[in-house]
Structure 1
Amino acid sequence: MTSLLTPRAAAEEPAQEPPSPAPRTAPAAVERFNPQARRRLARRDVLGVLAWLSPVAAVALWLADGGATGFTTLAGAATNLGIVAGLVGMDLVLLMLLLAARIPFIGNTIGHDRALEVHKKLGKPASYLLLAHGLLIAVGYGMAEGLDPISESVSLWVNVPDMWLAFVAMALFIAVVVTSLVAVRRKFPYEFWYAIHLLTYAAVATAIPHQFSVGGLFAEGTWQRWYWMVFCIATGVALASYRVVQPIIATFRHQLTVSRVVRVAPDVFSIEMSGLHLERLSGSGGRFFFWRFLAPGYWREAHPFSLSAEPVPGAPGQAGKLRVTVRNLGDGSAKLARLRPGTKVAIEGPYGMFSTAARARNHVVMIGAGIGITPLRSLLESTPFKPGNATVLLRGHDASELFLGQEIMALCQARGVTLFHLTGPRSAGNHRWLPQSAVQSGFNLTSYAPGIANADVYVCGPAAWSEAVIRDVTAAGVPAEQLHYERFDW
């Protein structure tokens, strides 16, 4: 069944069918979010340029310090190609760490999940380059000394200070790449996968010493030495600050405590918490946090949940309230329903671009399914728009899967939002995210949101469902900078 709530009929019983598709012209009003969108795109361009310049600078500095002179012999060519591979590979590793450091400038520009997506894509090239570095160095040195690569590797391990650390680092990098393969990753629980990826930090730590102590590559007084010292120190400071220090500060600042756990549906529940200075979290919209519940059996796991309502700050010196809504999707989330009142909570965030900060247009369309409906409820409460400028589409197999539906209905009535409940078995053909009955009747995305090409579109729901929505949104002419969706990755 499909239901409709429009601003004109807010107090009436929702109609049972969506309107027929109708063209809508672009509004003449000034787009208030255009300036922030332009600034975000400019920051994205700056990040892209810096990412490309980083390995280029590493190689350019090496050449400026006389690196090209080693190509006069075959042995020298192999050695120098190995050096270049090592420089670029290590540069990419440091870029990966910066992308995973949860730096606000990066997260507020491209989003947390996009940063981790690029981080993952850099993993294999970085490891291949570092592997090539080791092999080419062994071949080049071996040719110069009349040894085969294996014998030369043993000689380097035994006779060169800190070189054994380079071999350990290579083994650790290979372990990280292997465990990152999807086929392997699915065989392990998340905790094991996360622990293995912590080896990346150990790999970097063990790789750095030989760079500065072996040979004259980073000799004192060279620009290379300063470049790598600054790059390594800056990366370490960023990781320590945003992955460790800032979360600790936020945890002590807000002093969050579980107040109660409330059942929303048979497998869905809300965790209500109280805390201090929650006004600093207000306006986060659909952005997400990592929550760590500090109780026996819980504290080891960090859960990425978005707020399902804007925080309610308390009076000065008094606790305010906030809430997350969770669906039972496995052992990790299921046991959260048994949290006891009084449990202390550690917090990291907010993260992501699923908020007003991503807006580019005055109109907004929100499309959600399953537990993905809950961040839309928070975004709907906080993001600014005029009555009639917002449309919300909620998808579920039946009405029981429209979580927080009554709260969203009340918000839509109060703010003049067009609301659709899209329920029923899903389509087996085109527009697989829609109910079969709607598709059979000839309805599609633009039937519900005729002006979607001129709107910001927020999509949140199961991965396969979201991909189907995004295909339709893109086909409807929505530019990439107006499409906002996020996976709550670690």
Structure 2
Amino acid sequence: MSIQTAAGRRASPSSVDRARRARTRRRLRRADLLVMLCWSSVAAAVSLYLAYGGLSEVRDVASAVTALGIITGLAGTDLILVMLVLAARIPLIDRAVGQDRAIAFHRSLGKPALYLILAHGVLLTIGYAMSDGSTVVAETIAFFQGPDLVLSYAGLGLLVLVVVTSVVAVRRRFSYEAWHVIHLLSYVAVLIALPHQLSSGAVLADGTLQRVYWIALYVLAFGSIGVFRFAVPLIRSARHDITVAAVEAIAPGVVSIHLRGRDLGRLQTAGGQYAIWRFWSAKTWWHAHPISFSAVPTATGARITVRDLGRGSSAISRVHPGTRVSIEGPYGIFTDEVRAARRMAVVAAGIGITPVRSLLEGSVLGPGEATVLLRATDASQQYLWQEVSALPSLAGSAVYSMVGPRPPGLATWMSAEALARGVTLTSAFPDLLISDLYVCGPQSWTELVVRDARAAGLPEKQLHVERFDW
């Protein structure tokens, strides 16, 4: 068996496998480096404080508590700035870990950052109160007499609000639009605390490397947001001049939106990626939507497929031809580029078919190299299934379907009928351990597939997930 390369030459499976393994090693090294840089930045913030004599003022318990308060404040602020960098949608980070994992890491830092900032305020108040011989209440009141510290308390309040509303149980009580507006307050919280940080005694004295480090970190965080979340999307949208060409109903509550534009090939979109779209109509201009490409774009056209899952998606399913569209992206590593193994296994459910359809279209596959399992609760959820089965890239590959509800009371991703027949993930994919497994669907369902894959011994580098929650 041989595989057709992008240049049109024939390559042996062994050479392709070596190229995939080398590419995977590079990507994993970049991911490890990213994590190391994030934690190293916190270490650098604390080390610089200590290097500039941060402990030289420690003479008693009160000054020790104060110094500890300063350290927790520096560490917490550093983590918040790191979180902003992770959320800035920097292409280098996206190619290393994908936006999905970058945002997951961003969220995981939220609580530690908040706890450190809270500890900063408490420890400084106690330390200053002990030094002044006053009470904590009196010291807190005294803090509010300084404008910089008033801003700091306001920033702390905003951070508490952002972190609390990011907890899953709380977040689900908000619409995406309301939650997103609240989350933007994190930018304000960091900015209004900056005057306090730069004016707090000699901690960040003018002319020190500490001050240079912190200013550079602020510039990196907010500069990245300004460039990659605002400037680049504006330039890209103007360059490609995207509009709605047609809206096609493919199932009840599901539409494909056909887009036309200029030089869309310059987006360099890989099959399986998504973009963040803003439709400039009266009912949709105020909200951007992360939606996967359901077909690999051509030079003049693209397509996305949307299911009515709420007010936002319902509104964009009713946009009219000619509506102007802004694009941010493409993003994601749910692509053929991250394959580490020779074979490909794919499981998709519901509207999760959209990135899977473009993934399979854009993948370089040899005959019989892929096995695809399409999952639906009933026939009404078989979106784009016929298109998937007809893809030229799947010639000689197996495409199966599993239709039916899950059995009540059992934590399984399979239908009751399949479970009764003894179907398992490994029986559906006999070559699972020498395959890359791509999974896309509702989050709770996806987690069950991932659970079974890990239990079967599938290495993490061969597991790829596209999530559809916020």
1:173 counterpart = 2:173: no
Query: What does the per-residue CA deviation read over 1:218-263, in whole Å, with 9 as the maximum and x for residues that have no partner?
Result: 1122221111111111111111011111111111111110011101
Correspondences of 1:237-386 after superposition (within 5 Å)? 237-313=223-299, 320-386=300-366
SS for the counterpart of 1:260 is: strand
Query: In the aligned structure 1, how far is the partner of 2:378 from the partner of 2:165?
Result: 39
**Contact kept? 1:113, 1:488, Cα under 8 Å:** no
Shift of 1:185: 2.2
Question: What amino acid is the match of 1:265?
Answer: A
Query: In the aligned structure 2, how far is the partner of 1:436 from the partner of 1:444?
Result: 12
1:101 counterpart = 2:88: yes
Give the aligned partner of residue 97 of structure 2: 110
Shift of 1:282: 4.5
Query: In the aligned structure 2, how far is the partner of 1:272 from the partner of 1:33?
Result: 33
SS for the counterpart of 2:430 is: coil
Give the aligned partner of residue 60 of structure 1: 47
Query: Per the alignment, do residues 455 and 429 of structure 1 end up closer, same or farther by CA in structure 2, a change over 3 Å counting?
Result: farther
TM-score, normalisation: structure 2: 0.93
Query: In the aligned structure 2, how far is the partner of 1:476 from the partner of 1:430?
Result: 19
Shift of 1:482: 0.6
Query: What does the per-residue CA deviation read over 1:38-90, in whole Å, with 9 as the maximum and x for residues that have no partner?
Result: 10011011112111211111111111111112322111011101001101000
Structure 1 portions without partners, runs of 5+: 1-25, 314-319
1:76 counterpart = 2:96: no
1:129 counterpart = 2:109: no
Question: What amino acid is the match of 2:317?
Answer: A
**Contact kept? 2:376, 2:402, Cα under 8 Å:** yes
Query: Per the alignment, do residues 431 and 362 of structure 1 end up closer, same or farther by CA in structure 2, a change over 3 Å counting?
Result: farther
Query: In the aligned structure 1, how far is the partner of 2:452 from the partner of 2:207?
Result: 57
Query: In the aligned structure 1, how far is the partner of 2:439 from the partner of 2:235?
Result: 32
Query: In the aligned structure 2, how far is the partner of 1:180 from the partner of 1:442?
Result: 40
Query: Per the alignment, do residues 45 and 261 of structure 1 end up closer, same or farther by CA in structure 2, a change over 3 Å counting?
Result: same
Query: What does the per-residue CA deviation read over 1:402-442, in whole Å, with 9 as the maximum and x for residues that have no partner?
Result: 21111111116863221101112324577722222222222
Query: In the aligned structure 2, how far is the partner of 1:161 from the partner of 1:425?
Result: 60
Higher relative contact order (CA closer than 8 Å, sequence separation 6+): 1
Structure 2 portions without partners, runs of 5+: 1-12
SS for the counterpart of 2:321 is: coil
Identity %: 47
Question: What amino acid is the match of 1:230?
Answer: A
Give the aligned partner of residue 5 of structure 2: none
Query: Per the alignment, do residues 213 and 275 of structure 1 end up closer, same or farther by CA in structure 2, a change over 3 Å counting?
Result: same
Query: Per the alignment, do residues 383 and 414 of structure 1 end up closer, same or farther by CA in structure 2, a change over 3 Å counting?
Result: closer
Match of 2:445 among 465, 474, 478: 465
1:407 counterpart = 2:387: yes
Correspondences of 1:123-202 after superposition (within 5 Å)? 123-158=110-145, 160=146, 162-202=148-188
Question: What amino acid is the match of 1:179?
Answer: T
1:220 counterpart = 2:206: yes
Question: What amino acid is the match of 2:27?
Answer: R
Give the aligned partner of residue 485 of structure 1: 465
Shift of 1:370: 0.3
RMSD of aligned residue pairs (Cα, Å):
1.9
1:233 counterpart = 2:207: no
Residues paired across the two proteins, number:
458
Which one is further off, 38-47 or 419-428? 419-428
Shift of 1:346: 0.7
Query: Per the alignment, do residues 428 and 186 of structure 1 end up closer, same or farther by CA in structure 2, a change over 3 Å counting?
Result: closer
Give the aligned partner of residue 45 of structure 1: 32
**Contact kept? 1:31, 1:360, Cα under 8 Å:** no
Query: In the aligned structure 1, how far is the partner of 2:200 from the partner of 2:209?
Result: 17
**Contact kept? 2:114, 2:163, Cα under 8 Å:** yes
Query: Per the alignment, do residues 300 and 183 of structure 1 end up closer, same or farther by CA in structure 2, a change over 3 Å counting?
Result: same
1:120 counterpart = 2:100: no
**Contact kept? 1:304, 1:489, Cα under 8 Å:** no
Question: What amino acid is the match of 1:245?
Answer: A
Query: In the aligned structure 1, how far is the partner of 2:457 from the partner of 2:216?
Result: 44
**Contact kept? 2:85, 2:220, Cα under 8 Å:** no
Query: In the aligned structure 1, how far is the partner of 2:229 from the partner of 2:15?
Result: 45
Correspondences of 1:423-438 after superposition (within 5 Å)? 423-428=403-408, 432-438=412-418
Query: Per the alignment, do residues 201 and 413 of structure 1 end up closer, same or farther by CA in structure 2, a change over 3 Å counting?
Result: closer
Query: In the aligned structure 2, how far is the partner of 1:162 from the partner of 1:431?
Result: 53
Which one is further off, 102-111 or 27-36? 27-36
Query: What does the per-residue CA deviation read over 1:134-171, in whole Å, with 9 as the maximum and x for residues that have no partner?
Result: 1111111121112212211222321x452222122112
Query: In the aligned structure 2, how far is the partner of 1:143 from the partner of 1:431?
Result: 55
Query: In the aligned structure 2, how far is the partner of 1:119 from the partner of 1:30?
Result: 33
Query: In the aligned structure 2, how far is the partner of 1:465 from the partner of 1:55?
Result: 36
1:36 counterpart = 2:23: yes
Query: In the aligned structure 2, how far is the partner of 1:183 from the partner of 1:489?
Result: 13
Question: What amino acid is the match of 1:469?
Answer: V
Query: Per the alignment, do residues 49 and 487 of structure 1 end up closer, same or farther by CA in structure 2, a change over 3 Å counting?
Result: same
**Contact kept? 2:441, 2:466, Cα under 8 Å:** no
Query: In the aligned structure 2, how far is the partner of 1:69 from the partner of 1:161?
Result: 28
SS for the counterpart of 2:351 is: helix
SS for the counterpart of 2:452 is: helix
Shift of 1:369: 0.6
Question: What amino acid is the match of 1:346?
Answer: S
**Contact kept? 1:93, 1:126, Cα under 8 Å:** yes
Query: Per the alignment, do residues 398 and 157 of structure 1 end up closer, same or farther by CA in structure 2, a change over 3 Å counting?
Result: closer
**Contact kept? 1:354, 1:484, Cα under 8 Å:** yes
Which one is further off, 422-431 or 249-258? 422-431
Question: What amino acid is the match of 1:309?
Answer: A
**Contact kept? 1:412, 1:418, Cα under 8 Å:** no
Query: In the aligned structure 2, how far is the partner of 1:187 from the partner of 1:489?
Result: 13
**Contact kept? 1:431, 1:439, Cα under 8 Å:** no
